[in-house]
Amino acid sequence: MMDSRQQANESLAPIARDTILVLGGPSAGKTVWIARLLDALRTPTTLMNGRISDGEGWSSGVGNSTLHCEFADAITKRRNESINEALAGRQWPTPTQDPVEHVMDFVMTGEGVKTPRRRITLVDLPGSALLAAFAPSNPSTLTIGWTVGNQLARTAAVVLLVDPTQVVERTRESIDLTNATVAMLEHLRASPEGRSIPLAIILSKGDRGYKTIMREGGVRLFAERHLRSILDAADSARLYISSATRSRLVAPGYREPSTRRPVENLIEPMYFLLGTIDRIDTIRQRAAMVMQADARRRGAGETAGLAAAERSNARARKVEIPAYAWVIFSAGMLLFLLVSGRAAIRAGAPSNAATTSSATPAAADQSTNQPARSERTP
């Protein structure tokens, strides 16, 4: 059984933030991005200052940190393998209907890493859920549709995928999606500890959007022009351009995936998020320890206070007992004298008083005086 102090200490322990939400509108590329990322991380990747060698600046295998992941359960493993097999077989996944949880153990080495092995649940949310929850045209669904709402307390980091070819179109749908994304980010940042949740904004499908983005002067300038409101709501975020797969146009309007080329810029954002999670977690744990120690100290103070109060009560009781005894004794004596006095009057002789008076000379004196007093009694 837990005592109340233990319960209080546990309630001070922070809720583990062990979830990374992968958000974005419908068809932003979330399911493909997660599947390709987890597949790529089955073998350890070496990073140098958070970046993977591209074979130009420095050679692969040289670096100061590594990252890989392991599937924590058979369902996650099987699901992931089947999406990757389908992609290899040139089939895109079907739109996600309900949130899908990928439970993973991420293993990270590098300077300053406090928790090298960390269990994280990656949540793949249907783009339709984001719209349902935050589309300004339908704000009544905010609480019902916002499936993330109940996960917010567990959110360690957020990946926001944005399809750059969609945002430049500025259609009704893309404007609605931008507004919903802004509302979601404002909600996230306003949540408890929400300001410190690391966020990676990913321009997805880099194989298709790369040229457009570069024409506009690069990722930063592109985002400032087309994602201004999202950047403002995000407050602070890291921007990436990722390429989960390549694609080939096989029929007018239809591209099929090609997974022969390695992923680009999928591991780096994950490394950034995991590193930040590790640092924030260390700070949260320290803060919780300080709070618990403080609560223990206060608890000990209260116990010491209670013990002192108990001791002083006991002292008071010790004083009270003789006082009571004295009152009872005196009342008893008075009653006894009255009764025996009356009895003596009725009997007309001081005999009872004499028997009791032998106990002490004082009592004997008192008793001997008694008949005289009793005689005076009318």
Ligand X SMILES: Nc1nc2c(ncn2[C@@H]2O[C@H](COP(=O)(O)OP(=O)(O)OP(=O)(O)O)[C@@H](O)[C@H]2O)c(=O)[nH]1
Residues near Mg ion (CB under 5 A) are 30-31, 96
d(CA 334, CA 329): 9
- Contact of residue 208 among Mg ion, ligand X, none (CB under 5-8 Å per partner type): ligand X
Shortest Å distance, C-beta 191 to ligand X? 22
DSSP class of 97: -
Query: Nearer Cβ to ligand X, position 27 or 66?
Result: 27
- Contact of residue 26 among Mg ion, ligand X, none (CB under 5-8 Å per partner type): ligand X
d(CA 350, CA 357): 11
Q: Phi/psi zone of residue 354: left (φ > 0), alpha (ψ -120 to 50 degrees), beta?
A: alpha
d(CA 127, CA 306): 58
- Contact of residue 118 among Mg ion, ligand X, none (CB under 5-8 Å per partner type): none
Binding site for ligand X (CB under 6 A): 24, 26-32, 92-93, 95-96, 126-127, 205, 207-208, 243-245, 247, 255
Query: Nearer Cβ to ligand X, position 56 or 98?
Result: 98
- Contact of residue 269 among ligand X, Mg ion, none (CB under 5-8 Å per partner type): none
Query: Nearer Cβ to Mg ion, position 128 or 165?
Result: 128
Shortest Å distance, C-beta 202 to ligand X? 10
Shortest Å distance, C-beta 3 to ligand X? 48
Residue 121 bridge partners (DSSP): 19, 103
Rg (the chain; Cα; Å): 40
Helices 267-347 and 361-376 cross at an angle (nearest 10°) of 60
d(CA 94, CA 275): 32
Shortest Å distance, C-beta 5 to ligand X? 47
Q: What SS3 class is residue 252?
A: coil
- Contact of residue 108 among ligand X, Mg ion, none (CB under 5-8 Å per partner type): none
Query: Nearer Cβ to ligand X, position 9 or 243?
Result: 243
- Contact of residue 258 among ligand X, Mg ion, none (CB under 5-8 Å per partner type): none
Shortest Å distance, C-beta 127 to ligand X? 3
Residue 45 backbone dihedrals phi, psi, to 5 degrees: -110, 135
Query: Nearer Cβ to ligand X, position 183 or 353?
Result: 183
Query: Nearer Cβ to ligand X, position 181 or 243?
Result: 243
For residue 52, the one-letter residue type is I
Residue 234 backbone dihedrals phi, psi, to 5 degrees: -70, -30
Query: Nearer Cβ to ligand X, position 88 or 295?
Result: 88
Q: Phi/psi zone of residue 290: left (φ > 0), alpha (ψ -120 to 50 degrees), beta?
A: alpha
Q: What SS3 class is residue 56?
A: coil
Q: How many residues does the chain have?
A: 378
- Contact of residue 32 among ligand X, Mg ion, none (CB under 5-8 Å per partner type): ligand X
Shortest Å distance, C-beta 268 to Mg ion? 22
Query: Nearer Cβ to ligand X, position 188 or 244?
Result: 244
d(CA 147, CA 23): 12
Shortest Å distance, C-beta 88 to ligand X? 14
CA distances from 228 to 173, 179, 182, 194, 258 (A): 17, 11, 10, 20, 32
- Contact of residue 205 among Mg ion, ligand X, none (CB under 5-8 Å per partner type): ligand X
Which tokens in the block code for residue 273?
Answer: 């998020």
Shortest Å distance, C-beta 305 to ligand X? 58
